Amino acid sequence: MPARALEPAGIALVDKPAGPSSFAIVAQIRRCTGARTGHAGTLDPFATGLLLVLSGRATKVAQCLVGLDKRYVTEVDLTRRTSTGDPEGETVELREPPTRGDLEHLLEGLRGEIELPIPAASAVKVGGERAYRLARRGVEVAMPWRRSSVHALDVIAYTGESVTLDLLVSSGTYIRAIADALGGSCRSLRRTEVGPFSVSDAVTVDGFEPSSLLPAEAVLDRIRGAGQEQGA
């Protein structure tokens, strides 16, 4: 790989729109910079919000970013389960939504340390193949379970048929699995924070310029500073 592919170096905070995959966003930024480009955690195509894109030499710090806690806002349809846990899947069950009391009981069981099955429409490998590829072919498999930490789970809106939640979770938590545990599916999903970084500081992918890149050391200093504040 030519040396020029290591520059420009840095990390971009990008506000991903609904529709394109995270890899499409990375590719668009790569075309802009001409540099080696990666990410620190994908978002599903239907999801929006904060995507950390690494450019040039900064790609080597990806492992320092992928394990950060993440905050999401999601609207859950409490009347409909889908094959994917999101609006892109086929309806597999229509049901009466839980009462507010039953919903609160379900939510309480999803706070703290939890263990839920990984959605079938995920990139996790099962038997050496991506689960979503098996799902597309109609192959049913027993999905593995994953342990996660839900640090905060708050209701910010409730209609009776849907609930909007604000969640702070450990890395690797599937919000679609939480929606499924409530008997529903995600209508929308937006990632608002990754560690100490907020989507309010992000640029749109079309508005990205190489000058948008943050120096890797500054990003790492901010992560270390946030860790010290939490430990104080």
Each residue of 119-158: pLDDT tens digit? 766 666 766 766 667 566 666 766 677 899 999 999 999 9
- Walk me through the domains of the chain, giving residue ranges and CATH numbers: 3-66+198-231 (3.30.70), 70-193 (3.30.2350.10)
Q: Which of 81, 5, 58, 52 is nearest to 199 (CA)?
A: 52
| Number of Cβ within a 10 Å radius of residue 13 | 21
pLDDT digits (tens, 9 = 90+) for 80-127: 999 888 998 889 899 999 999 999 999 999 999 999 987 766 666 766
Q: Coil, strand or helix: which one is 208?
A: coil
Angle at 118 between CA 114 and CA 123, to 5 degrees: 140
- In the chain, count of helices (H) and strands (E)? 5, 14
In terms of DSSP bridges, do strands 203-204 and 10-16 run parallel, antiparallel, or are they unpaired? parallel
Choose among 20, 38, 21: nearest CA to 29.
Answer: 38
CA pair distance 107, 109, nearest whole angstrom: 5
Give percent of the chain above pLDDT 70.
Answer: 86
The residues carrying an active-site annotation are 44
Query: What are 231's two structure tokens?
Result: 């430990």
Residue listed under structure tokens 């609006």: 87
Report pTM: 0.90
